[in-house]
Amino acid sequence: MEKENAIEIKGLSKCYTRVGASELGTHELWALRDVSFSVKRGDSVGIFGHNGSGKSTLLKVLAGVTKPTHGTVAIRGRVASILDIGAGFHPELSGRENIYLNSNVLGFSKLETSKVEQEIIEFSGIGDFINEPVKNYSSGMFLRLAFSILAHLDFDVYLFDEVFAVGDAKFEAKVSKTLRALIESDKTVVLVSHQMSALDKQDTFLHLKEGALQSYDENRKVLIDYLTASVISADDGLDVITTDTTLTHFNPTRQSVELDLLEVKLYQSNNISAQFRTDKEFVLEIMYDKLENDCSLDCIVSVNDLQENIVFFTTPLISGAPSLEMDSGTYKLKCIIPASIFNSRVFGMSITFLKNTKDVLSSYNEENPFKYQDFLKTGGVDVCHVFRNVLYFKPVFHAESVFLDLSKLNINCNLSPAFTWVKEKI
Amino acid sequence: MSSPTSEQVTFFTSEPDSVSEYLKKIYHHRGLIWVFAVRDLKVKYSQTILGVSWSLIQPLTALLIFTFLFGYVLKWTAGEVPYALYVLSGLLGWNFFSYIIYTGTSSIQESSSIIRKIYFPKSILPLSKTVVALIELLLSFAILIPLMIYFGYGFSWRMLFLPLIIVFNALCGLAPVFWVAALGYKKRDLFHLLPFVVYFGIWLTPVFFITKMLPPEVSDFLVLNPMASVVDFWRWILFGFGTFQATWIISFFIVLLLCGGGMFYFHRKEGEFSDHT
């Protein structure tokens, strides 16, 4: 049975006019240009695009908060718009009173709210604070309560704008679980996010560019293409390499005096200009000058996807002991990445150097576990050099016995390792 | 209650809703009028010791001061009506009016965070402030009624006009609120004008003075001030003060028209509020 449309948008345009702060008269800004699409009930849409591409405006128009300049929007059912969590909260009222106020503003009766009141309070984890005025809440508590309210009321259409910057990690997990449940249910979900991994679970993807609909497709390829394109067109001159490459210029994310990175080389020993293949091993060579005598340096290489999820990291520390050589001088590291491990995707590669690894690693224990992410983000105490996304590379899918391009199959994984499989007929 | 059901389709277009469509939307969201009003009252009296009594203290203080000043010191009299009752009834009507103006005009700005995130007809906001003002008005009846009993006034058929005068009084406040909010959301000059209206307007309205005290060539101009009609109408209903004037009804319909026009203009402009607040 054909599902009916939950959202129908026809020829939508939105123009903001600002009566100039300067004397230059009115200033026109077209935030949306002739956007048309429809969403079936129960489907979910992920909207992405660069800053200023009209994502938030589109959501605002959908929520009815701002009027379109041209075109029509039709939405079936009750709409939860989470444009910014906590709309309709009043600081002087208690959390409990705000639950009722908020849900009432969103169109729910006292009776409907009282049925889920307890669940809302439990989900938010606010506890006894629920009877305190919300002005005494921390911003995290505020957001948790607001999200809990929306999560427990029964809407038909959910509009989310960047909801993932909510509270602590524990609550973030709750949020994404709730979101996934909504997406999988018969609810209609529209999600705008910069965090690409948040968009991953959607059924459909919508790419906005300068207010216009660039693509609208069920294929995740839309998302991947956007990510790839935005990396390639990045201003810092990064390029996706697809053939043997030697790099000699680097922009360290974090840097200190112990080291000078000379050369990074990624190759497959192909014929010149032949493309990287997934079924061949990669060789990574890192050449550096160690400038100081009385320290040790160890290298970590991490490979991440374009959503900045780490796919794997590798370091000689795993295969052997920390390097104990203290001498300065030029060193060359060579790492062989096995064949048939990657899918045909764009990957970023980051290189991190650890100083005096032995001391660093012994400072971690069960209470203070080693978090590789922290190293990349902030740099641990003795992370002396981080070269974030030193290069991007993309192999083309090849396999001896398979004549399929898995990237075209839209398989939702970064790795497709060629493990050994044995098939027997019994 | 006030929300669309899961089958109902909501449309957003560049065109403003038709008047009937708009009124339907207000009806749909009517629950919000009450919700916002309750919120305001809760906020107003939370963190106070005296709570609701503050709503009585303010008119009571005014009553004492003005009765002393004009009734006792200046010896103004209002015929058979005690001056204290005369002033109180004038103040009730005027306070109701000024409360709607002050809170109504700031209501859009005050709720900007909601406006930018949730859709509802914005007329709800001034209407909800009117409900708060009405509750304040009813509270101050707690001073008026004992005083009326004390001075020997009782029920009268004229009190059937009470709903009409309350609506008339509210319309006087709402009409400028709608016009100013709709005309002034981009450039806020008009918002600065209203306090003048309230501050000086009380002296152009027979709140403290008695119309008869004015020379006739001046008092004739009072018909141009709808609030003059309102306070005198109040006094006629409550105490049978003066005689019923046909101009009150004319004035009522003019204000009704102005308020309706203001609301219509407000509704055509409200789609842009969220872009400018």
Is the residue at A414 inside a domain? no
Nearest to B252 by CA among B232, B235, B275: B232
Same domain as A96, residue A184 = yes
The encoded tokens of residue B266 equal: 């407000």
Rounded CA separation B177/B173 (Å) = 7
Is the residue at A411 inside a domain? no
pLDDT at B87 over 80: yes
Question: Quick one: pLDDT band at residue A237, thresholds 50, 70, 90?
Answer: very low
Chain B residue with minimum CA distance to A80: B118
SS3 assignment for chain A? CCCCEEEEEEEEEEEEEEECCCCCCEEEEEEEEEEEEEEECCCEEEEECCCCCCHHHHHHHHCCCCCCCEEEEEEECCEEEECCCCCCCCCCCEHHHHHHHHHHHCCCCHHHHHHHHHHHHHHHCCHHHHHCEHHHCCHHHHHHHHHHHHHHCCCCEEEEECCCCCCCHHHHHHHHHHHHHHHHCCCEEEEECCCHHHHCCCCEEEEEECCEEEEEECCCHHHHHHHHHHHHCCCCCCCEECCCEEECCCCCCECCCCEEEEEEEEECCCCCCCCCECCCCEEEEEEEEECCCCCCEEEEEEEECCCCCEEEEECHHHHCCCCCCCCCEEEEEEEEECCCCECCCCEEEEEEEEECHHHHHHCCCCCCCCCHHHHHHCCCCCEEEEEEEEEEECCECCCCCCCCCCCCCCCCCCECCCCCCCCCCC
Using one digit for the tens of pLDDT, what is the confidence trace for B235-260? 999 988 888 888 999 999 999 999 99
Same domain as A290, residue A208 = no
> Which CATH number goes with the domain that contains A247?
2.70.50.60
Task: Evaluate whether A318 touches A308 at the Cβ level (below 8 Å).
Answer: no
Is the residue at A419 inside a domain? no
Using one digit for the tens of pLDDT, what is the confidence trace for A4-38? 888 888 888 888 876 655 555 667 788 888 888 88
pLDDT at B171 over 80: yes
Confidence at residue A379, expressed as pLDDT on a 0 to 100 scale: 47
Which residues of chain B have a CB within 8 Å of the CB of A79?
Answer: 10, 119
Identify which of B3, B11, B14 has the shortest CB distance to residue A107.
Answer: B3
Rounded CA separation B183/B72 (Å) = 44
The domain limits of chain B are 26-276
A19–B186 CB contact, under 8 Å: yes
Q: Which comes out higher in pLDDT, residue A274 or B153?
A: B153
Rounded CA separation B93/A334 (Å) = 88
Is the residue at A105 inside a domain? yes
Same domain as A76, residue A46 = yes
The encoded tokens of residue A423 equal: 């098939």
What are the phi and psi torsion angles at A311 (to 5°)? -85, -45
> Which CATH number goes with the domain that contains A155?
3.40.50.300
Which residues of chain B have a CB within 8 Å of the CB of A69?
Answer: 14
Rounded CA separation A373/A350 (Å) = 12
- Mean per-residue pLDDT over chain A, rounded: 78
Task: Evaluate whether A59 touches A47 at the Cβ level (below 8 Å).
Answer: yes
Task: Evaluate whether A71 touches A13 at the Cβ level (below 8 Å).
Answer: yes
B2–A105 CB contact, under 8 Å: no
Which residues of chain B have a CB within 8 Å of the CB of A72?
Answer: 11-14
Examine the fold and report which residue of A207, A232, A257 is the final residue of a domain before the chain moves on: A232
pLDDT at A381 over 60: no
Q: Checking phi first, is residue A390 left (phi over 0); if not, alpha (psi -120 to 50) or beta?
A: alpha
3-state secondary structure of B104: helix
Average of per-residue pLDDT across B43-56: 80
Identify which of B42, B120, B271 has the shortest CB distance to residue A97.
Answer: B42
Average of per-residue pLDDT across A298-327: 79
Is the residue at A426 inside a domain? no
B39–A101 CB contact, under 8 Å: yes
Identify which of B7, B13, B116 has the shortest CB distance to residue A72.
Answer: B13
In chain A, how many domains are there? 2
Return the number of CB contacts < 8 Å for A and B: 112
Using one digit for the tens of pLDDT, what is the confidence trace for A20-29? 555 556 677 8
Same domain as A286, residue A212 = no
Identify which of A76, A88, A97 has the shortest CB distance to residue B118.
Answer: A88
Q: Which one of A14, A26, A34, A65 makes the best mutation probe of the B interface by having the most chain B beta carbons within 10 Å?
A: A65
A67–B272 CB contact, under 8 Å: yes
Chain B residue with minimum CA distance to A14: B14
Q: Which comes out higher in pLDDT, residue B117 or B22?
A: B22
Whether A20 has its CB under 8 Å from any CB of chain B: the answer is no
Examine the fold and report which residue of A181, A208, A232 is the final residue of a domain before the chain moves on: A232
Which residues of chain B have a CB within 8 Å of the CB of A109?
Answer: 1, 31
The encoded tokens of residue B188 equal: 């806020």
Identify which of B13, B32, B35 has the shortest CB distance to residue A68.
Answer: B13
Whether A131 has its CB under 8 Å from any CB of chain B: the answer is no
Q: Quickly count: other Cβ atoms within 10 Å of residue A203's Cβ.
A: 16
Same domain as A104, residue A16 = yes
Distance from chain centroid for Cα B104: 9
Question: Quick one: pLDDT band at residue B3, thresholds 50, 70, 90?
Answer: very low
Same domain as A185, residue A314 = no
Same domain as A117, residue A95 = yes
Same domain as A89, residue A24 = yes
Examine the fold and report which residue of A175, A202, A232 is the final residue of a domain before the chain moves on: A232
Identify which of B2, B5, B117 has the shortest CB distance to residue A81.
Answer: B117
Same domain as A174, residue A302 = no
Average of per-residue pLDDT across B199-204: 90
Same domain as A253, residue A210 = no
Residue A37 structural domain:
5-232
Residues 6+ apart with CB under 8 A from A135: A91, A92
Q: Which one of A33, A90, A112, A163 makes the best mutation probe of the B interface by having the most chain B beta carbons within 10 Å?
A: A90
Is the residue at A412 inside a domain? no
- Mean per-residue pLDDT over chain B, rounded: 86
Rounded CA separation A102/B244 (Å) = 47
Which residues of chain A have a CB within 8 Å of the CB of B268?
Answer: none
Of A177-186, A198-207, B25-34, B97-106, give the lowest mean pLDDT range: A198-207
Q: Which one of A61, A104, A111, A162 makes the best mutation probe of the B interface by having the most chain B beta carbons within 10 Å?
A: A104
Question: Following DSSP, what letter does each residue of B130-155 receive, concatenated?
Answer: HHHHHHHHHHHHHHHHHHHHHTT---
Rounded CA separation A285/A331 (Å) = 10
Interface ipTM above 0.95: no
Confidence at residue B2, expressed as pLDDT on a 0 to 100 scale: 38
Same domain as A116, residue A39 = yes
Same domain as A296, residue A354 = yes
Which residues of chain A have a CB within 8 Å of the CB of B33?
Answer: none
Question: Quick one: pLDDT band at residue A235, thresholds 50, 70, 90?
Answer: very low
